[in-house]
Amino acid sequence: MAVPGIVAHLDLDAFFAAVEQLENPELRTKPLIVGGDPHGRGVVATANYVARQFGIHSAMSAAEALRRCPHAVFVRPRHSLYREYSRHVWTTVRGVVPTVEQTGIDEGYLDVGEVAGDFLEARVVAEAVQTAVRAATSLTCSLGVAPCKVVAKVASDVRKPGGLVVVPAGSEARFLASFAVRRLPGVGPKAEERLRAAGVETVGALAALGDGELRRLLPGSVGAVLRDRANGIDPRGLELDTERISISVENTFERDIADRERLHDELRGMAAEVAEALQKRGQTARTVTAKLRYADFSIRSRSTSLEVGTDDPSTIADLACRLLDRGLRDRPGALRLVGVGVSGLAAYRQLALGGI
Which residues form the catalytic set?
A: 107
Q: Count CB-CB contacts under 10 A for residue 280.
A: 9
Distance CA 146, CA 141 (A): 16
DSSP assignment letter at 239: -
Sheet-wide strand order for 335-347: 246-257, 335-347, 283-294, 299-310
Indicate the SS3 state at residue 92.
helix
Q: Count CB-CB contacts under 10 A for residue 39.
A: 10
Indicate the SS3 state at residue 170.
coil
| Residue 343, beta-bridge partner list | 246, 287
CA angle (141, 248, 81) in 5-degree steps? 50
3-state DSSP helix/strand/coil % of the chain, to nearest 5? 40, 25, 35
* CA dist 264 → 214, 218, 324 (Å): 65, 62, 8
Distance CA 317, CA 263 (A): 11
| Residue 301, beta-bridge partner list | 291
Please say whether the dihedral angle defined by the alpha carbons of residues 47, 53, 56 and 58, taken in this order, is positive or negative: positive
- Beta-strand (E) ranges in 78-192? 100-104, 107-111, 141-146, 164-166
Q: Count CB-CB contacts under 10 A for residue 80.
A: 8
Indicate the SS3 state at residue 160.
coil
* CA dist 208 → 74, 160, 169, 198, 224 (Å): 45, 29, 19, 13, 12
